[in-house]
């Protein structure tokens, strides 16, 4: 299949060749019902025809929604209507949502629910007077909202013209989407991705990780993030396999047991949580338990979004369901490198996919060049010029390539800790070692411009409860446990044991046990479950400062 194509052509060609076969499983009344490619196309074309009546080519259309069938319909319909899709992460606040709508200049917003629509209505006085707001559900609860059903009632007579216009006018250079970075540091910026960016990355990823049209994938990562968008949604279309969207993050395991997928994409936090679940249940070494948890048909997992700890990689590999790690960024559509069943290496993020070049700069920063690199940041030429120089995109990550072309990531340049003694420390590496301990659920290492390292530690509540239950410590509450001398001594010993192999300046001298974990809702994690270190440092400033008082 040619990489010089578009999402429009991939989808229309898929419908033409696979029209009456099952494309997607849609959750209805807690059951999953199949829909064919042709049924999906009927919905897509109706919405595209409706949008084309009042959206001009190149105009931005915002979608504020959690994962659901309508999300996919809207994404494809916006492409066919020759507009630009601007998905916004559902957990964002009203102020964040409004800032992105203002920045992209959208006059059409589609929201999933009254709760999401309220985020837009809250800033109605500052939005364009002619802005149109549609709602999947509960439009009658929002005076300014129109029902999404009116878009689904698009005129079928005009769909032929929509198809022909999209085939003729949408080119590989057409802008497909505007994606706002989740902002682990700094203010989110709009990343411009073209049709070629996304299709070349989709097809290159499928070559790097060979899959089958008979595969069934369960997706639970947010489609508003490019990892799921490319690696769940567009690879599904290009391959002609089957896709099901999990009903929620909490229902992933139950949905997998019902659907029995053959593959699944996730992030390291999810995979480690599954590992802990099996360990806590005493089933970690039970033959087939890991695969059985997901329905029993899994061939492999794929991981991205953050570094995969070695102990998690080992756990899954030893149990016959390997995790294939990849690497990329929003600005690279996203995949730069990926592992496969034939080419996988512990600690590596795979090898470059087709048409993608990787170079390591003199300071060990990872640079990349190819059709996957964004056009630039929306209305930010200076910021674009900072990261794309002489054709090479500067990722902001440190790493190295081994002799076989495998890419190893050391950490983000902005996250590297430089101690007051001038020592460079990768917090990700230390946090990976710490969370290998069953008693440590999450960890953040701190020490920039300080003379020693400290850590914020989130205990695993179930593991800690089990330990306390076996000891005569007389602890009566979770809060009391966190400050109890015996618990503190236990964690101090565990931290020292986990960091026994690192240098003296990488040792954690002091730590604080936290009552709660880091979450998306608190703003301390991105939608793809990466840590927002600046937010965490601000939210726990008092605890951090207490560890540096002499």
| pLDDT band with cut points at 50, 70 and 90 for residue 185 | very low
Smallest CA-to-CA distance from 332 within 208, 227, 239 is with: 227
C-alpha span between 184 and 363 (Å, rounded): 22
With bands split at pLDDT 50, 70 and 90, how would you rate the model's confidence at 184? very low
Q: How many CB atoms lie within 10 A of CB 522?
A: 13
Q: What is the separation, in whole angstroms, between the first and last Cα of the chain?
A: 64
pLDDT beyond 60 at 374 = yes
Split at pLDDT 50, 70, 90, the class of 275 is very high
One DSSP character per residue, 43-106 reads HHHHHHHHHHTT--TT-EEEEE--S-HHHHHHHHHHHHTT-EEEEE-TT--HHHHHHHHHHHT-
- DSSP lists the bridge partners of residue 399 as 409
pLDDT higher than 90, residue 515 = yes
Residue 450 burial (CB < 10 Å; 0-12/13-18/19+)?
middle
Give 2's pLDDT tier (boundaries 50, 70, 90). Answer: low
User: Alpha carbon of 443 to those of 60, 313, 531, 535, 544: distances in Å?
Assistant: 39, 18, 10, 14, 13
Q: What angle do CA 22, 109, 95 make, to 5 degrees?
A: 120
User: 2 φ, ψ to 5°?
Assistant: -70, 140
Domain ranges of the chain: 7-170, 202-412, 417-547
Arithmetic mean of pLDDT over the chain: 94
Overall pTM surpassing 0.85 (yes/no): yes
Is residue 392 within 8 Å of residue 399, measured between CB atoms? no
* Beta-ladder partners of 216: 242
In the sheet where 335-338 sits, what is the strand order? 31-36, 22-28, 242-245, 216-219, 263-266, 300-303, 323-328, 335-338, 351-352
The pLDDT value given to residue 550: 63
Q: Which fold has domain 7-170?
A: Rossmann fold (3.40.50)
Average pLDDT over residues 189-212: 97
Q: How far apart are CA 172 and CA 87, in angstroms?
A: 20
Give all strands of the β-sheet with 190-194 in edge-to-edge order: 145-147, 132-135, 108-111, 60-64, 84-88, 175-180, 190-194, 376-377
Domain 417-547 part of CATH 3.20.20.70: no
Sign of the dihedral through C-alpha 194, 198, 201, 204: negative
Check whether domain 202-412 has CATH 3.60.21.10, yes or no: no
Do 7-170 and 417-547 agree at the fold level?
Answer: no
Mean predicted confidence (pLDDT) in 371-394:
96
3-state secondary structure of 512: strand
- Confidence tier at 128 by pLDDT (50, 70, 90): confident
pLDDT 10s digits, 214-257: 999 999 999 999 999 999 999 999 999 999 999 999 999 999 99
């Amino acid at each position: 299949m040619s990489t010089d194509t578009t999402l429009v052509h991939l989808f229309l060609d898929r419908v033409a060749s696979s029209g009456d076969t099952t494309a997607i499983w849609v959750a209805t009344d807690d059951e999953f019902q199949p829909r064919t490619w042709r049924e999906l196309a009927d919905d897509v074309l109706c919405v595209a025809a409706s949008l084309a009546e009042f959206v001009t080519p190149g105009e931005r259309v915002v979608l504020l929604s959690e994962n659901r069938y309508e999300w996919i319909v809207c994404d494809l319909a916006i492409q066919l209507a020759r507009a630009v899709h601007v998905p916004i992460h559902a957990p964002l606040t009203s102020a964040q949502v409004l800032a992105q709508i203002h920045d992209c200049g959208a006059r059409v917003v589609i929201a999933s629910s009254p709760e999401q629509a309220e985020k837009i209505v809250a800033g109605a006085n500052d939005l364009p007077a002619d802005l149109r707001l549609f709602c999947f559900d509960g439009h009658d609860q929002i005076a300014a909202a129109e029902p999404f059903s009116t878009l689904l009632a698009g005129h079928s007579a005009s769909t032929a013209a929509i198809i022909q216009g999209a085939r003729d006018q949408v080119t590989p250079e057409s802008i497909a989407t505007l994606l706002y970075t989740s902002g682990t540091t700094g203010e989110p910026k709009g990343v411009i991705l073209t049709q070629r960016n996304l299709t070349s990355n989709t097809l290159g990823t499928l070559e790097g990780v060979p899959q089958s049209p008979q595969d069934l994938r369960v997706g639970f990562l947010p489609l508003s993030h490019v990892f799921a968008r490319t690696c769940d949604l567009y690879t599904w279309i290009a391959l002609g396999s089957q896709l099901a969207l999990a009903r929620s993050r909490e229902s992933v395991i139950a949905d997998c047991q019902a659907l029995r997928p053959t593959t699944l994409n996730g992030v390291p936090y999810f995979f480690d949580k599954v590992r802990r679940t099996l360990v806590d249940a005493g089933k970690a070494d039970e033959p087939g338990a890991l695969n059985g948890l997901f329905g029993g048909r899994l061939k492999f997992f794929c991981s991205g979004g953050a570094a995969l700890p070695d102990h998690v990689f080992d756990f899954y590999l030893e149990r016959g369901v390997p995790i294939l790690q990849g690497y990329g960024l929003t600005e690279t559509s996203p995949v730069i490198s990926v592992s496969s069943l034939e080419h996988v290496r512990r600690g590596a993020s795979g090898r470059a996919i087709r048409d993608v070049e990787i170079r390591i700069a003199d300071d060990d920063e990872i640079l990349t060049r190819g059709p996957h690199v964004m056009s630039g940041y929306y209305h930010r030429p200076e910021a674009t010029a900072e990261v794309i120089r002489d054709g090479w995109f500067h990722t902001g990550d440190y790493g190295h390539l081994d002799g076989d072309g495998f890419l190893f990531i050391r950490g983000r340049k902005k996250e590297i800790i430089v101690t007051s003694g001038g020592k460079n420390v990768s917090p990700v590496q230390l946090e990976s070692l710490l969370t290998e301990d069953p008693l440590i659920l999450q960890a953040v290492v701190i020490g920039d411009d300080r003379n020693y390292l400290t850590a914020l530690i989130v205990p695993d509540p179930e593991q800690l409860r089990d330990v306390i239950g076996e000891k005569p410590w007389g602890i009566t509450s979770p809060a009391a446990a966190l400050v109890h001398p015996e618990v503190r001594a236990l964690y101090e010993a565990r931290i020292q044991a986990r960091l026994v192999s690192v240098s003296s300046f990488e040792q954690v001298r002091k730590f604080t046990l936290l009552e709660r974990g880091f979450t998306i809702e608190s703003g301390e994690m991105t939608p793809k479950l990466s840590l927002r270190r600046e937010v965490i440092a601000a939210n726990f400033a008092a605890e951090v400062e207490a560890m540096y008082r002499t």
